[in-house]
Amino acid sequence: MVTPTPPPKRVAPVTDDHGQPVSPYPRRRGTPPQRRAPNPLPWLIFAALVLVVLPSALFSAGSNSEVRWEALLMPFLIVCVLIVLLVVLFTNIRVVPQANAYVIERLGKFKGVWAAGLHIKIPFIDRIANKVLLKEQVLDFEPQSVITKDNVSMKIDTVVYLYVVNPELYTYGVSNPLAAIENLTATTLRNMIGELTLDDTLTSRDTVNGQMQVTLDVATDPWGIKVTRVELKNIIPPRDIQEAMEKQMRAEREKREAILRAEGTKEARILEAAGVKEAVILEAEAAKQKMILEAEAEKAAAIARAEGHAKAIREVKAAEADGIALVREAGADDAVVRLKSLDALQEMAKGRATTIVVPSDIAGLAGTLTALKGTLEAQGKPQEEKGK
């Protein structure tokens, strides 16, 4: 019986702190520039000259037996020496490219540093000990395992930006500068993360980057290296921590949603109450303004009526004064005055009064009595007609 082979287990891809998959293949680290291959052109020229001059000399010696070999050997040696000198000269002329520096040793001791340009090296004495790249280099190291203060194991991927400021120290300060920087970065990162909790590590990247940059810059000064920036590229916590963080994030979002809803309801009620309050205030102000306007209207009407009544009284009094003035101007005597008083009595008799007060001086005047009798008779007739 053949036992079926179980299917291979599917390994979950490794992701960074942003949920992006991390490549399982090793990354290419920053490496120093490779040495250039020697120029083969001088050696090809030397070999071509030897192959051309030597057969021609042998052919000439064979055709003319009287020519001696010593006479041909000297020119050949001179040509060979000249060719060797040219080859040596060309091989010791070097052109240093831009943003590069060559460290030169003379008889095994440091001589100097060649900058960009044309340089001539003394043959067999000077030697190019190292070719240093002066451009800013980016070193992307492998994720390092670290443990936080609250005993959470994680992996952190770092990126270091640096450039060489002193080629001499870079060459003689440490045997392998890039490997030394990688190890120094790993140890410094472990020391710093060991003093932080998981939450502090996730929220204090800028602080960790700044501290690591200062620490690495001070430590690499004897190596002629300047560290400009250090970045924590990826923070990869364990899977269970990621799930717990996702649950916490979901709970925080639900909490914020509930808070926002409660605040929205509260603000809606506050706005509604404020609207009712403003409406009541506006209605009260409108009623107040209405009452004020009505009172002002009544006041204006009363003032107008009083002014009209006063004006009428003034006009009546003015008319009476004018009448008196006219009477005076006409020179009226006592008889006229008495007639006016009889007219007044007649007006008084027109009323419903039962008692009439008669002046005492009227009793002796016959004419006045006759006029009064006629007035009374004239008043009695309408009353009798009303009684019937």
pTM confidence score? 0.51
Per-residue pLDDT, 325: 75
Q: 148 near 196, Cβ under 8 Å?
A: yes
Q: 99 near 116, Cβ under 8 Å?
A: yes
Whether pLDDT at 234 is above 60: yes
Per-residue pLDDT, 79: 76
Token pair of 9 as six digits: 């287990």
Give the mean model confidence (pLDDT) for residues 194-209: 88
Please tell me the distance from the alpha carbon of residue 135 to that of residue 100, in angstroms, as a whole number. 8
Amino acid found at 156: I
Q: Which residues contact 16 (CB under 8 A, 6 or more apart)?
A: 22, 157, 233, 234, 235, 236
- The share of the chain scoring above pLDDT 70, in percent, equals 65
Q: 232 near 205, Cβ under 8 Å?
A: yes
Token pair of 187 as six digits: 């140890």
What mean pLDDT is reported for the chain?
76
Query: Comparing C-alpha atoms, which of 73, 77, 39, 40 is closest to residue 57?
Result: 73
162 to each of 63, 100, 187, 217, how far by Cα in Å?
70, 15, 18, 9
Give the mean model confidence (pLDDT) for residues 162-173: 92
Name the one residue in this structure whose structure tokens are 């430590």. Answer: 219
Give the mean model confidence (pLDDT) for residues 87-113: 89
Per-residue pLDDT, 233: 87
Q: What domains lie within the chain, and their CATH numbers?
A: 41-133 (no CATH), 137-237 (3.30.479.30), 337-387 (no CATH)
